[in-house]
Amino acid sequence: MNTTTKDDFDPIPSTRHRVQVSVGSLPQAEEETGALAVPVAADAEPPAELGITSAALATAGFTGQRGQTLVQPRAEGPVRVAVGIGPGREIDAALVRDLAAEFARAVPWHRRLAIEVPSSGLGISVADFAQAVTEGVLLARWRYFLGRDADRPTLESLLIVATDEDAEQARTGVERGRIVAEACSLGRDLANCPAATLSAVRMAEIAVEAGTASGLEVEVYDKDQLIAMGCGGLLGVNRGSAQPPRMVRLRYQPEKPAGRIALIGKGIMYDSGGISLKPSDESHAQMKNDMTGAAVVLASMTALRALDCTTAVTGYLMCTDNMPSGSAMMLGDVLRMRNGTTVEVLNTDAEGRLVMADGLALAAEEPIDAIVDIATLTGACLRTFGVEIAGVVGNDPAIVEQLRRAGEAVDEPLWELPLHRSYRRQLDSPIADLTNMGGVNAGSITAALFLEEFVDGKPWAHVDIAGTAQLPEPRAWRNKGATGFGTRLLIEFALRFARPPGVSS
């Protein structure tokens, strides 16, 4: 069904094989798996399953420090993997996710893994523990690979060992973890997929398939419809492209919604910079991922029904590439956006805000409690926060705080930047309502001030994932390349969403 490109790569390979995650007993693990994780504290004797003393472990250099692993071969049965959990008994979900991932990485050739849920008193519920383990192992073993052997799964099964008493809770956690990890894998797949394979048209096709399969209503808007709707930002950026644009609207409608939110994702399938061409450096080579915002809006929404989310969510994917050509936008051109605002284009590489403007305006036309947009928007955000923290800016402290807390809960950290309105004058244009270029400094803030012009005063926050969309090195469950950052954040935000006081929609 690949109608728009010459190659036949599968853009979402991780959806082809499903890891079997289940809850079972220790004898089952002995029988059916190849590697069993055994948590070892730094200040206590190791559990009996290891059959060894802490002094003996220390002779191999293993002291139980956090993240340390030691693989112990056996004459029979699965290898034991001692996993250091550090001193003290208190652990949280982020640590469990990290350690489960370290275990999965310590035995890269084993495809059948087992982990035991420790006895209670760890400061984390059995369900949360099982969910974090499932996420950690599945995400650490995820890969995007188009070469030989691409079809061979990196993981076949994960067995969570729990007592009969804990089994029910563990199953709940496993199920949630699997849903969340699969959503995140979809986000990673899409962002890693080469731009020649994943055009805006193909992205919309995938949104229809994945969205419909997960109980969402999906509408796709083509170029003619976008013209009729007055989406001058998305159309302006698309002018230089040989590929047509697409806008996708996804709707998740629970029975009795406890609130309504809109999510808008930047879907620049490839950002060459346009006429303001980027130099051919490393950051340019990464620009196939400039659609991560759209990818993670789609990915997060595929999990909502399965997780029984009670918030109604509308998603907007703003998709086109940004290319230079004889028909491309020229510097000095003026675009009229969906809400009637005119924008003088002074740099065609500041294209993200142009496509997001139409999405924000469309979202603000509907009754809504909060608008959240997510975009690989500014190099300045990468410079400010590096690759582990995303920026958040908004006109509503409660929404910003809810996002920040959701990020904290899922270990996708956010840090707030000020919406400093005095900088708005940097966007003044002599011939239009505003320009798309701020000054040389505070680029992430002026970009947010641009976006604010399109939300019609509605409660809104903007998440800049320019830094976190990509990692140069793997770390625990975080892989090298496209990270899917934002998928788990948005799922958690939607699940927890509480209408801010005073907003009735």
Which residues are known catalytic residues?
A: 278, 353
Binding at 378: pick from Zn ion, Mn ion, ligand BES, none (beta carbon under 5-8 Å per type): ligand BES
**Piece of 56-64, 218-226, 342-350, 401-409 that binds ligand BES (CB under 6 A):** 342-350
Q: Provide CB contacts within 8 A for 338, sequence distance 6+.
A: 229, 230, 231, 232, 233, 357, 358, 361, 362, 454
Q: Is 283 one of the binding residues for Mn ion (CB under 5 A)?
A: no
Query: Among 349, 416, 433, 456, which residue interacts with Mn ion (rule: CB under 5 A)?
Result: 349
**Can you tell me the distance from the alpha carbon of 240 to that of 236, in angstroms, rounded to the nearest whole number?**
8
Binding at 417: pick from Mn ion, Zn ion, ligand BES, none (beta carbon under 5-8 Å per type): none
- Judged on CB neighbours under 10 Å (0-12, 13-18, 19+), 482 is buried
Query: Among 98, 271, 321, 369, which residue interacts with Mn ion (rule: CB under 5 A)?
Result: 271
User: What does 97-156 look like in DSSP terms, one character per residue?
Assistant: HHHHHHHHHHSTT--EEEEEPPPS-SSS-HHHHHHHHHHHHHHHH-----STTTTS-S--
Alpha helix stretches (DSSP H) within 386-442? 397-410
Given a contact cutoff of 8 angstroms between Cβ atoms, the answer to whether 174 and 131 are in contact is yes
User: To the nearest whole angstrom, how small is the minimum distance from the Cβ of residue 92 to Zn ion?
Assistant: 35
Given a contact cutoff of 8 angstroms between Cβ atoms, the answer to whether 252 and 304 are in contact is yes
Torsion of CA 236, 237, 241, 247, to 10 degrees: -90
**Can you tell me the distance from the alpha carbon of 360 to that of 488, in angstroms, rounded to the nearest whole number?**
22
Q: By CB under 6 A, how many residues form the interface with ligand BES?
A: 17
Query: Among 350, 374, 410, 482, which residue interacts with ligand BES (rule: CB under 6 A)?
Result: 350
User: To the nearest whole angstrom, how small is the minimum distance from the Cβ of residue 383 to ligand BES?
Assistant: 9
Q: Is 352 one of the binding residues for ligand BES (CB under 6 A)?
A: yes
Given a contact cutoff of 8 angstroms between Cβ atoms, the answer to whether 377 and 354 are in contact is no
Q: Which amino acid is at 104?
A: A
Q: Which amino acid is at 194?
A: P
Query: Among 199, 376, 468, 487, which residue interacts with ligand BES (rule: CB under 6 A)?
Result: 376
Q: Is 437 one of the binding residues for ligand BES (CB under 6 A)?
A: yes
Q: Given the complex with ligand BES, which of 134 and 199 has the nearer CB atom?
A: 199
Q: Given the complex with Zn ion, which of 271 and 344 has the nearer CB atom?
A: 271
Q: Is 321 one of the binding residues for ligand BES (CB under 6 A)?
A: no
Q: Is 222 one of the binding residues for Mn ion (CB under 5 A)?
A: no
Using CB under 5 A, list all residues that contact Mn ion.
Answer: 271, 349, 351
Using CB under 6 A, list all residues that contact ligand BES.
Answer: 271, 283, 290, 347, 349-352, 376-380, 382, 437, 443, 466
